[in-house]
Structures are given as C-alpha cells and as structure tokens.
Amino acid sequence: MNCTYCSTPVPDGAVFCHQCGSLVYDSEGQAAMSASLTDSGVRNLTTLLREDIKDEFEIIRQIGRGGMAVVFLAREIHLDRHVAIKVLPPELTFGQGIERFKREAKTSASLDHPNIIPIHRVASGGLIFWYTMKFVEGKSLEQVLRETQSMALREVTHILRPVADALQYAHERQVIHRDIKPANVMVDTKGRVMVTDFGIARALGERTLTSSGVPVGTPHYMSPEQATGLPVSPASDQYSLGVMAYRMLCGQVPFDGTSAVDILHKQCTLPPPPLNVLRPSLPDHVYQAIDKSLAKNPGDRFSSVTAFVEALRRHTSELRGWESAFYSSFEGRYGTPGTPRLKSRRTVRRLLRRLAVGLGVAVLVVAAGFGAWQLVLGRNVADSEAGAGGDLSGRTAPTDTVADSLVQEATPMIANLALADLPDGAVVRVDGVVATGTELELEPGQHTISIEATGYETITDRLTLAAGERLRYPFRAREIRQQPTEPRPLAPPPEPEPGFLRISARPWANVLMNGRFVEQVTARLDTVAPGEYNLRFERPGFISVDTTVTVQSGQLTAILIRLTQGTP
C-alpha cells in the first residue's frame, strides 16, 4: 500500500513511512477521513446532521474542520441561542475514533470554569455522533498569530494567564489536556480567553485508547515524554504552554521539520534555539522562565502551569513610564483577556493620580503666590482709590478654577478590597477569574466574589464598590466537618493492557477470527486482549488462507494477506 501523505509505497508491516516518516498503520482510516472532509463529504454530513437534529436546531453555516470532526454554527430553536455543534463523520464511527469522541464530550462537560468552553448536550444518531457547546464569537490565537506574528510581553502574559488558570483547574481534577496549542485557545470579541478541544484529554490513572505507546497530540507542541509514549502529567501541558509562549514572543515554534518523526526527534533530543537571539531585549527572567518550562525532564519544569506564567509576569506589573499606558492598544484589538482589570491598569492609574496631585500642588503654590501678590496690589489700589473716594463694595475675590479641576481629577477612580483571615490555599475569584494577593484594586461598580477553601463551604457574594472606597472583607465561611471514612476495599489486580491487531487483505476477503465471522474488509484495526488468534480469509473464486497471530500487551501486530485466484 501507499503512504496517505506522500504516496510512497510502504513495506508490509511498516508503522512509519520510510520517505516522510508519517504514521501509516492507520492509512486507510486517514484516507477515509480525508475523503469525508471534502466539500462533498461535508455536504453529506450536513444532510445526516439535519435529519438527526430535526426541529431542535437550525444549522447556519460550517465554521471549522478539525482532525476528526466538523463544527457547525447553529441556532437552538427552543432556547433561541447560538451554539456550536461538533460532529464526527460516519467514516470515523468505528475503532478508536468514536471512543475518543465520546471521551472528549464527557471530559469537557465535567469541567466548569469561566475559561473553558462549556458543553451543553451530547447525542448520537444512527450514523453520526455530535454534541453542542457554547458558541464563542471571536478568533483563535492561531488566527491572531498569523496576523501579528509576535506579541509584546504584556500581551503574551495577559493571554497566558487565563489559559493557565483553566489548565490548573483541570489539573486539580486529574485531567490533562494533552493538545495545548494556539488553535485550541479562543479570544472572543470582548477579549475573554477560553480553552477548547479536550478531545484527547486524559484522566490520570485512567486506561485509555492510547496506552499502547502510540503518541497522540500535535508534534510542534508535544512534550518529550508525550512524544515517546511515556506517561503524561500536568508538566506535559506546561511544556506545550511554553512552546506556545515561545512562538507568541518570537513568531516561530522552537522545533520544525519535514515530518512528524523529525519534529518529535528534535523535541526529545535538541535544546530550543535561544530566545534571547530571536527576541532580544526582553527581561532576563522571561528567558529563564521559557527555558525552565521547556526542560526535557518533567521534574525540571515549574511546579504548576500557573507558577510558570507568574514567573513570566514577574516585573511586568512594575513597568514605569508612559510606555506602559500604550498597552491599551492591545485592548482595542483583542480586549483584556481573562482578567477583571485587577491589575491591568493599576500602574497607569497610579502614575496619572500622582501626576495630577503633583500638578495640583504646583498650581496651588503658584496660585497662592499670585493671590498674595494680588492682595498686596489690591491693598495699594484700594488705598489709592480710598484716598480718591472710590467704592470697593462690588469687588469679589478671584477663584482658582484650574487648581480645583486638577484636585477633582486627582480623586481616586478605583476601589480597594482587602481580604482578611483567608485560610491557607484559598482560591479567590473576582467575576469568575482567579485573583492573586489579598489587596485587590477593582473598578467601581458591582463585582461577584467567590472564595473556595479546603474544609470550608464556598462563599459567593455580590459587592457594590464606590470610587475611592476601601472595603475590608473577612473570610467567614462555615467549616465542613469531615465524616470518618470507611477503609477502601482492596483494588482488584489490574487487567492486562490490550494490544492492537491490524488485519489487511489484498483484495478484500471475509475474515473469521477463532471461527467467528468478523466482517468483509480490506483493512481493519481492532483493540483486542493479548493472546493467540486463529484467522481465516475467504473469498469466492480465491484460495482460502488460514494463519495464526499472537498479540502482545500494548503492542501493534499487523498482518497482510494476499489472496490468489483458484479453487478453495
């Protein structure tokens, strides 16, 4: 057979193409996927979807095609709201594809975080599987990077912080994304940042379809341990986030190549090109943080994704001078991602207030001197006019309107919220976004405050703050008494890890496995228990073939049978 990607003939039993290095063990499935995602294939998929959703949704248009699904914009008729519908093509509703798709929906639906796109509903028809999720109107970070190439450090940290918050939330619930890349980060029209596509996310300790050691992910953003099929951890997502930050800062990924194998080899063996050469003049702590996040050994990286982003943000909030005010140009393009302005303009406001107060004092001093001079001059004039019999009753003292306006302008335009008595490890969210520290500067108006702490009930309050107000907010949650836990029963011994059996017949044949008819196939990939299997290949007009294969745990076993014409 030929490689799907470069059409080079592939030797029987080969897992990688010898020309381009692409995975070819599932080339028939890849070819079916490519055929299903052509324009005619999408039209057929749209017809099947319309038959399945009937009067519940109205399809508006297609908004994306991914590696294993097509996404449509639709209107949910009963609730009159726009949603995105993700659909798995019929050609992929077999083998690993459908199980991975179901797991994507289940995993995404279990994560409730303001920076994770929520799942509304999961459903399946006769030939297709689909689910609906919140429609985010905006651009992916991939689209933004294609337009801007690279970003300022402040822009990078403003986008990475909500992404890290979302990943940290998932990691605390034992879920790893495993495919962090700009295409899976959305920036909506209001500047909010959201993470999507937990399609290959993996719950820690869960046995998955990829446990055989076959790498799953995007090669340019894949960690070394993921590339080699080793167990993944939150540090794997951190590595991908570090690659994304590297590209946002300098406009290119650390490693590129002519094939997936070439890229993965570099991820595992080579150090990334020095960022200080590609993007000089950044603070030293930025280069150090990027290098640490891209360490080959997971144990040498930061303790968490949020610790990595905080290391990038170090000193960023301490910028001085008028240049810090111009970052607002980014807000005009994309908004202020993922933060309720807790610190986004703090430095600018402080500078403006100090400048206004300084100018106000200077004007008052000048005005006082001018008033004293006028007083002396007025007395002299009054004396001369009094000597001439003049009337001074209609005169009024001058007012300093300029100084009054400057003093008024210097009035604080923010409110301060002081959090007190917080227990260790408490997580504070303001308007749904995680806040750091106990002294928060907020814009005047209403804010939703929630505090979560282990062993305490969650607090959720809605506060209204006035400009210049300082409010002390003590933690007063009720402690949850821990119930005595019963000893857990001993876990049963782990089941042996399954293996993979790939059956190919040239030409097609009816396949019997251990005497049981499987199906009429040209190629088939199954997940089977380890052991020995008797296979028989039959086709009218051809000589039948009997053979025996042994499948080992976690290994891929491939067999190709070529039938010859003749009497069975």
How many angstroms separate the first and last alpha carbons of the chain? 26
Between strands 427-430 and 459-465, the pairing is unpaired
Cβ atoms within 10 Å, residue 87: 23
Residue 270 near residue 288 (C-beta atoms within 8 A)? no
Cβ neighbours of residue 347 closer than 8 Å, sequence gap 6 or more: 317, 318, 319, 320, 324
3-class DSSP string for 463-531: EEECCCCEEEEECCCCECCCCCCCCCCCCCCCCCCCEEEEEEEEEEEEEEECCEEEEEEEEEEEEECCE
Gap between the Cα atoms of 490 and 209, Å rounded: 25
Between strands 415-420 and 470-474, the pairing is parallel
Bridge partners, residue 202, by sequence: 176
Task: Count Cβ atoms within 10 A of the Cβ of residue 509 and give its class: 0-12 exposed, 13-18 middle, 19 or more buried.
Answer: buried
Gap between the Cα atoms of 356 and 64, Å rounded: 50
Gap between the Cα atoms of 6 and 330, Å rounded: 42
Q: How far does CA 512 lie from the centroid of its chain?
A: 45
Identify the active-site residue in 26, 52, 165, 179.
Answer: 179
| Three-point CA angle 317, 318, 324, nearest 5° | 75
User: Helix, strand, coil % (nearest 5) of the chain?
Assistant: 35, 25, 40
Amino acid at 91: E
Gap between the Cα atoms of 206 and 174, Å rounded: 10
Between strands 427-430 and 445-452, the pairing is antiparallel
**231 cis-preceded (ω within 30 degrees of 0):** no
Q: Phi and psi at residue 116, in whole multiples of 5°?
A: -125, 130
Reply yes or no on whether 179 is catalytic: yes
**Catalytic machinery residues:** 179
